[in-house]
Structure 1
C-alpha cells in the first residue's frame, strides 16, 4: 500500500476542528478556494480508527433556518445571545429540528474564507467591547466574563456580516451587553 503511487497525497487528521487554515469535519474538509495563481491547498482528510457519528448534520435549508430561528430571536437578548454563542465555538474552534446544520456549516465556510483576517478582527472586537463594558477597577472575574460576553457579541456580528442571521447590525452586541449587564446586576452588591 505504501508503494502505491497516489495522484496527490493528503494529510490525515484524527480530530475534527481547525487544522492550519482548514476546518475538518468527519465527512468534509472546508478550505478557502485559492486565489488565481495560488497553489491548491494540501488535502486534509479526517481519519479515525472507529466509527464516528458526525455532530455536523444538516437538515432543511439555510434560508429556512434564518427565517424560523434567527429572525425570531432578534429583539430577544437571551435568544440572540444564545445563537451568538453557538457561532462563537469555531472562533476558539420544532424549527431547529426541521432546519439545522446549515448555519453552522456556512459559518465554518465563512471562517475558512476569512481566516487570514479573522484572528485580528476577533481579538480587536473583543478588546474594544470589553473596554466599553467593563468598568475601570473591576475585578479580574468581571474582566474575564466581560471578554466572554464580548466574544459572543463579535461572533454574532460576524455571523450577521456573513449573511447568516438576517439581524440588523448591532443586534448581537446589544444582546450580549444586556446579558452581561444582567450578570453584573445579579452579583452581590459591591462585588464588581
Structure 2
C-alpha cells in the first residue's frame, strides 16, 4: 500500500448527503476481487448517461476536477452496504482523501485499509472547505497527516483527529497484510519454537 504523508491536490466539492456505496460503485460492476479497474465506474450512474456519454455537469466530469485527489462530501458518506469495492473505486480513480462531517463505520474503516484518509470535521469547517473546493483547479488544498491538518488554498488551517494506529498504518503504507509481514521475524521464531517443542502439531 502506498504511504500517505502529505497531499497537495485539487479538491472536488460533492455536497450531496447520504452517498451510499451503491452510488459510489453500482452492484453490476462488482465482478472482480482485484482492487484495480473500478475507477472507471466510480459514481457511474451520476457520471454517465445510459448510452455511456458523460453527464457534463457532474463534478468529476468537469475539466477542473478530473484529476481531483481530495473529495469534500456531504454528511454520512459511504453508507449502505459494506462493500470494500467502494474504497477500491475511489482509490483507483485517484482520490486519496475524503472529507465529511461523518462516515458510515465500515466504509470509514475500509478507507484506511486501502490507503485513503477519511477526515471527519465539523459542519462549519466542511462548509469552508467546500467553498474552497468550488474555486476549481487553481485552488489546491494540503492535507498533512503527520501534523493532522488541512490547509485551504488561501492558508486557513484546520486540525483533525485520527486514530494513532490508523495514522501509523497510513504513514508507513501498511495494510492488514503489511502489518502481518512486519511481524515476520517474531512469527518465524514462534513457528520454529512450536515445531521444536510440539512436533506433533
Q: Please, what TM-score do these two structures have when normalized by structure 1?
A: 0.23
- Identify the structure with bigger relative contact order (alpha carbons < 8 Å, sequence gap 6+): 2
Higher helix share: 1
Q: Please, what TM-score do these two structures have when normalized by structure 2?
A: 0.22
Higher strand share: 2
